[in-house]
């Protein structure tokens, strides 16, 4: 759990930043990621730039926001929790009575002690968020409401990292960083992603090229793909990809299928999860919600699954102030890191093998089989014999793993033993 | 339920006619249908005409039939219920004792208060049908049995209606009218069918051509297909078809698969029924029984499903005097009419669509997406986004409907909105 | 059950022979089989001969073996049960104390009253087997242990029988005879097999050629296939095959799939078993264990299923002295014989048929349909009508049987009636 603790510490550091789809919160977050992996490049795309059917919006900058009662006490303070302000709020500075105040306040009535996360990116409005409990207790009074924010022609910020491999075929790891102080959704995604990048950079050999993308959700992935020849290259090269979201709690593992659920990414993800956590949750593409939406859209058609611990929208703390640093844990983050690492290892090692003799080989003379035969003495070689039975040159490692019910990472050492004994060859 | 009531009234009118596979009962029934849709043409095919492996039988005409006891009282009277006589009975006029009488009487022992429906089309015999209760109470006596019937070289009668569309590809709607006074099996079929024809005739545009067929069961469909180039044309043009039978009660919906259960008709029927009545009953072709038998026979191979409310043979009143006007209802008939209408609408509108932008379109700027984002606020646009996700030019409307779980008739207005916004095109 | 009794009697006769993978026990067994079917040829393959990755081992000959206590009493005697000696034991003649003795003794702790079956073919060692109960009761004493055995350059013995048919396409029936006095595993296999051969020889017509193989398990099937052009011919000609093992008890029927579970042999076996014993057990190829291992190995790729009553490894008496003549029965052996006979008959008769008229034929005029129609009177012709519906020239008998749920041996007489009526033809 050493890596898990490091990832958790990074989340803690980035938690207070007030992220949105543009602005300094995104830049601070990217800067923290670059302290782990300096190779990440930062890109600024001007407001007004086209991104397929969309347009990069104005940049949002917020300095302060509060509500004071008639005694001048701050009853709500942006500096105490940045969820108190509706994302992309326009500025305001006026005095209102209780009835008017309530028009600007959003609560989560079914979770009365939680501040909800509310945004209004594409229509100018302002608003405050508080708990239902606070809302219900507001007395008749005169209130001063104040938001010091600004919407201006600035830019949308994203990060990119290409880690080259022997092949120009690519694996895409995408995650997002546009939510303010919430932990699972979303600090977990960028934090796990950057440690995966660090690990991949440390490897001496990589077959595939790895493309890491750090964007604001939706507008960010669309903007990223529409820049230069990004989409063209991705369509030509991406053979598998994952969108990381909500990968920090430790309640379950979840996977959101690609549009038709039939890509290499689906195959790998299911293969890995069935051994690590057989009760994992598999969601139809109809339950998508993060950037797998854009990567799988018609005409884009990239083989990108969603990967989560507890999936967005499926856990009660989602999109509220309850999604805090107590919800995620080093163990939860480590689990997600391990699954993604296994997925990458499976992909890197996924070859076809062919046994080199007719009939079963005589494992005994090579010390690979027990010399005495009695009921119950065969189990230790079952995996080897089962692997041999399906190493007929037609199946790749994932297919064999699925057939014989043994994880790929347990088959690899078996294959190595058989190669060393000249009993097995890789099929090109 | 206005149409349902009209259909029910038509059934009431036709109920008393004594139909069989030939004769005036068929002609009276067709005449009643032609009062609703005069475009139906009537065809008379002479006895002795070949119909594939079969031959058109002699025509049967019955005037009267009764059994009198020794006091001259009619203890059974054809004029009270035409089920009292075995269909195609030869004439008889003689006096018999009780023992002999019983040789000519058919009952339904497991339903002692029902008169069974019995026929003997292809072997000359006479017989009477009564309830088991009446049979058991028959005293020793001398009985006069009398049937004034005639089998002669006449003709077999059927009705046909071709409603042309833009395409010469055809939809077949077949039903039958050879059963005497029973309501679900079979007045419901011709009555629903003729109102579907009336509706189709009222449309200004029809893509497909519609072929309506009104025949006696088995011998009628065989005779119809063997006439002129009917079979040749049907094999060339019929892309979907339904045999309507027992479509008047309101207990369930049933569908009998085509021979391999894999035709467009199967696909449409299942798509429509799953939304209208998810608990609908799907029967294997092994449970066939009406003219889907002939339309699906090897060498004929037409994609014709059976469609029923409670399927023939599966409800207790089937083929007895209990299948009366109380068994069917305006609601039951309307339900069947609605399903068939939906099937036709689905077929007529079943195109492929392709979204016209890369990535998801920005629905917000077109007023098609909520402007504020909070947990729970997305549901209203889910169907639209799901449709867009699968409008990739590969799927037709039925396939998209099955994938996203939304009925075709709810997808059509969504598609129209997107076409109006220049976001969607039909793929030829 | 006459055949079952004959098979049982043959098992009784062969039970005492001390079989192993080589030696006189195999020869005695083959001689007993040749008394039933003299056409079986016997082959001797010298020790040291290559068999793919394997080598024919030295021949093992055992004369006697015992353990005496210090009073000179035999506390264990090979002549009382040949399971008392580890198969392929090297000779020994020495005096040991209890502690040393125990090093040479094998028991089955979870079945304390059973002598286990233990072998050590490929590493020189000696050993004795006894019940756990006897083992636990052994007193401190001085013991004389004695095995009069010999490992020498001799030969491996197998039997072969080719029964020619009209076609050179072959059916393989393989079984093994290398286990000492155990009944289900394995006398049942050779005994059922030889009676199947006798039956096939008695037929005047056989479409296929039948290859019967009697070998020691594993090394025997490998040796057999590696001799001359055996493998080449088998790969060219074998279209279906079964390995018979444990076919003598009457608790269930079991079938072990081929490597991918998709061969004609799988199809036939499932078709036959579903009607004879619908609760039969179907095992994945991962549960293989007998010579289906070798026949299905990559590069050999023969379509050979395992067929058993209670499968090896799945019944408690397996590989112990409890697998005795009381475990198997005439009824159990007859059941296995019947299933294999049905499988062969299904294979021999598995043609495609096509109905010769359009629409359903009029069965009535040919006396094949009831002349009177009333609810419940159709059942007797359902199988015929269902067969006709799928006799469209596309399906073979097995496919039709699976679709309509009627065993092939009940469809054959229906097909014959229809052929006699000129309504059906065989499709070439």
Inform me whether the pLDDT recorded for C253 exceeds 80: yes
Q: Give the minimum alpha-carbon distance from C58 to chain A in angstroms, rounded to a whole number.
A: 15
In C24-64, where does DSSP find H-type helix? 24-36
Name the pLDDT band for A370 (thresholds 50, 70, 90): confident
- Model confidence pLDDT, tens digit, residues B299-341: 999 999 999 999 999 999 999 999 999 999 999 999 999 999 9
Inform me whether the pLDDT recorded for A119 exceeds 70: yes
What's the rounded mean pLDDT across residues A239-266?
98
Inform me whether the pLDDT recorded for A425 exceeds 60: yes
**Helix H or strand E segment including C156:** strand C155-163
C contact chains, 3+ CB pairs < 8 A: A, B
Q: Which residue has the tokens 């594993």?
A: C218
Q: Which residue has the tokens 């097999």?
A: C193
Chain C positions in Cβ-Cβ contact with residue A354 (cut-off 8 Å): 298
A102-106, B342-346, B422-426, C368-372 — which is least confidently predicted? C368-372
Query: Do B329 and B266 meet the contact criterion of CB atoms below 8 Å apart?
Result: no
β-pair type (B128-129, B105-106): parallel
Contact C119 A373 (CB under 8 A): yes
Q: Give the minimum alpha-carbon distance from B250 to chain C in angstroms, rounded to a whole number.
A: 22
0.85 surpassed by complex ipTM = yes
Q: Give the minimum alpha-carbon distance from A114 to chain B in angstroms, rounded to a whole number.
A: 12
Instruction: Calculate the alpha carbon distances from A90 to A63, A86, A126, A211 in Å.
Output: 12, 9, 5, 36
Chain C positions in Cβ-Cβ contact with residue A365 (cut-off 8 Å): 122
Mutate to test the interface with A, among C83, C260, C298, C313 (most CBs of A within 10 A): C298
Question: Is A355 an interface residue toward C (CB < 8 Å)?
Answer: yes
Residue in C closest to A375 by C-alpha: C319
Name the pLDDT band for B380 (thresholds 50, 70, 90): low
- What's phi and psi for C17, nearest 5 deg? -60, 140
3-state helix, strand, coil in chain A (%, to 5): 35, 25, 40
Query: Do B393 and A298 meet the contact criterion of CB atoms below 8 Å apart?
Result: yes
Q: Minimal CA–CA distance to A425: which of A361, A370, A362?
A: A361
Percent of chain C exceeding pLDDT 70 equals 98
Q: How many CA atoms, within 13 angstroms, populate the side-chain half-sphere of residue C159?
A: 27
Contact A374 C118 (CB under 8 A): yes
β-pair type (A54-55, A41-46): unpaired
Question: Is B373 an interface residue toward A (CB < 8 Å)?
Answer: yes
Inform me whether the pLDDT recorded for C254 exceeds 90: yes
What's the rounded mean pLDDT across residues B412-420?
94
Chain C positions in Cβ-Cβ contact with residue A358 (cut-off 8 Å): 52-53, 225-226, 231, 297, 299-300
User: What is the spatial distance between Cα C122 and Cα A48, in angstroms, rounded to a whole number?
Assistant: 78
- Model confidence pLDDT, tens digit, residues A180-209: 999 999 899 999 999 999 999 999 999 999
Name the pLDDT band for B373 (thresholds 50, 70, 90): confident
Name the pLDDT band for C1 (thresholds 50, 70, 90): low
Name the pLDDT band for C376 (thresholds 50, 70, 90): low
User: What is the spatial distance between Cα A412 and Cα A387, in angstroms, rounded to a whole number?
Assistant: 10
User: What pLDDT is recorded for position C367?
Assistant: 85
What's the rounded mean pLDDT across residues B18-34?
97
Q: In what order do the strands lie in the sheet with A304-308?
A: A41-46, A155-163, A209-215, A170-176, A238-244, A304-308, A254-256, A281-283
Query: Do A165 and A206 meet the contact criterion of CB atoms below 8 Å apart?
Result: yes
Contact C374 B222 (CB under 8 A): no
Question: Is A290 an interface residue toward B (CB < 8 Å)?
Answer: no
Q: Taking the model in full, what pTM does it have?
A: 0.94
Q: How far apart are the first and last CA of chain C?
A: 38
Question: Is B358 an interface residue toward A (CB < 8 Å)?
Answer: yes
Q: How many CA atoms, within 13 angstroms, populate the side-chain half-sphere of residue C72?
A: 0
Inform me whether the pLDDT recorded for A374 exceeds 90: no
Query: Do C145 and C96 meet the contact criterion of CB atoms below 8 Å apart?
Result: yes
Contacts 24+ apart (CB under 8 A), B102-106: B102/B135, B102/B138, B104/B128, B104/B145, B105/B129, B105/B130, B105/B135, B106/B130, B106/C374
Inform me whether the pLDDT recorded for A266 exceeds 90: yes
Question: Is A52 an interface residue toward B (CB < 8 Å)?
Answer: yes
What's the rounded mean pLDDT across residues B22-45?
98
User: What pLDDT is recorded for position C322?
Assistant: 97
| CA-CA-CA-CA dihedral for C100, C101, C107, C110, to nearest 10 | -60
B/e letters for A28-59, b = 16+ CB within 10 Å, e = fewer, are: bbbebbbebbeebeebebebeeebbbbbbbbb
* Average predicted confidence (pLDDT) for chain B: 96
Inform me whether the pLDDT recorded for C377 exceeds 60: no
Inform me whether the pLDDT recorded for A1 exceeds 70: no
- Model confidence pLDDT, tens digit, residues C142-154: 999 999 999 999 9
B120-124, C113-117, C298-302 — which is least confidently predicted? B120-124
Question: Is A106 an interface residue toward B (CB < 8 Å)?
Answer: yes
Tell me how many degrees the CA angle C150-C153-C155 measures, rounded to the nearest 5: 105
Inform me whether the pLDDT recorded for A408 exceeds 90: yes
User: What pLDDT is recorded for position B371?
Assistant: 72
Q: Give the minimum alpha-carbon distance from B57 to chain C in angstroms, rounded to a whole number.
A: 12
Beta bridge partners of B353: B426
What's the rounded mean pLDDT across residues B215-225?
98
Query: Do A256 and B360 meet the contact criterion of CB atoms below 8 Å apart?
Result: no
Name the pLDDT band for A428 (thresholds 50, 70, 90): confident
Size of interface B-C (CB pairs under 8 A): 90
- Model confidence pLDDT, tens digit, residues A13-59: 999 999 999 999 999 999 999 999 999 999 999 999 999 999 999 99
User: What pLDDT is recorded for position C380?
Assistant: 59
* Average predicted confidence (pLDDT) for chain A: 96
- Model confidence pLDDT, tens digit, residues B151-203: 999 999 999 999 999 999 999 999 999 999 999 998 999 999 999 999 999 99
Contact B53 C355 (CB under 8 A): no
Chain B positions in Cβ-Cβ contact with residue C361 (cut-off 8 Å): 53
Q: Give the minimum alpha-carbon distance from A52 to chain B in angstroms, rounded to a whole number.
A: 6
* Average predicted confidence (pLDDT) for chain C: 96
Inform me whether the pLDDT recorded for B375 exceeds 80: no
Inform me whether the pLDDT recorded for C379 exceeds 90: no
User: What is the spatial distance between Cα C79 and Cα C64, in angstroms, rounded to a whole number?
Assistant: 7
Question: Is C357 an interface residue toward B (CB < 8 Å)?
Answer: yes
Beta bridge partners of B42: B159
Burial (CB count within 10 angstroms: exposed 0-12, middle 13-18, buried 19+), residue B232: exposed
What's the rounded mean pLDDT across residues B370-377?
67
User: What pLDDT is recorded for position C368?
Assistant: 85
Query: Do A308 and A247 meet the contact criterion of CB atoms below 8 Å apart?
Result: yes
């Amino acid at each position: 759990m050493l890596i898990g603790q490091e990832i958790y510490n990074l989340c803690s550091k980035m938690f207070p930043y007030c992220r949105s789809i543009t602005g300094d919160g995104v830049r601070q977050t990217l800067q923290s990621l670059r302290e782990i992996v300096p190779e990440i490049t930062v890109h600024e795309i001007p407001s007004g730039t086209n991104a397929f059917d969309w347009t990069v919006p104005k940049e949002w900058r917020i300095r302060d926001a509060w509500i004071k009662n008639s005694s001048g006490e701050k009853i709500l303070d942006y500096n105490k929790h940045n969820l108190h302000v509706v994302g992309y709020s326009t500025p305001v500075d006026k005095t209102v009575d209780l009835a008017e105040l309530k028009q600007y306040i959003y609560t989560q009535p079914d979770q009365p002690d939680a501040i909800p996360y509310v945004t209004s990116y594409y229509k100018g409005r302002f608003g405050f968020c508080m708990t239902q409990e606070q809302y219900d207790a507001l007395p008749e009074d005169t209130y001063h409401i104040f938001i010091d924010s600004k919407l201006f022609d600035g830019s949308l910020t994203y990060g990119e990292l290409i880690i080259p491999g022997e092949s120009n075929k690519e694996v895409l790891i995408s995650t997002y960083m546009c939510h303010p102080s919430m932990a699972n959704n979303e600090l977990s995604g960028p934090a796990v992603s950057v440690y995966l990048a660090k690990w991949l950079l440390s490897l001496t050999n990589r077959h595939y090229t790895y493309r890491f993308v750090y964007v604001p959700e939706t507008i960010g992935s669309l903007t990223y793909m529409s820049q230069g020849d990004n989409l063209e290259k991705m369509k030509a090269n991406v053979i598998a990809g994952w969108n990381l979201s909500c990968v920090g709690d430790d309640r379950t593992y979840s996977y959101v299928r690609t549009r038709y659920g039939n890509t290499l990414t689906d195959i790998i993800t299911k293969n890995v999860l069935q051994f690590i956590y057989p009760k994992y949750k598999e969601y139809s593409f109809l339950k998508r919600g993060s950037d797998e939406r854009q990567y799988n859209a018609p005409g884009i058609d990239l083989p990108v699954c969603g990967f989560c611990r507890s999936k967005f929208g499926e856990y009660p703390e989602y999109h509220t102030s309850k999604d805090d640093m107590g919800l995620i844990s080093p163990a939860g983050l480590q689990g997600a890191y391990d699954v993604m690492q296994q997925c990458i290892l499976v992909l890197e090692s996924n070859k076809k093998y062919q046994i080199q003799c007719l009939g079963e080989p005589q494992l005994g003379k090579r010390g690979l089989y027990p010399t005495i035969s009695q009921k119950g003495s065969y189990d230790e070689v079952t995996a080897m014999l089962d692997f041999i039975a399906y190493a007929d040159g037609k199946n790749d490692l994932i297919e064999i793993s699925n057939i014989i019910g043994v994880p790929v990472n347990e088959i690899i050492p078996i294959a190595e033993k058989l190669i060393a004994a000249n009993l097995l060859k890789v099929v090109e």
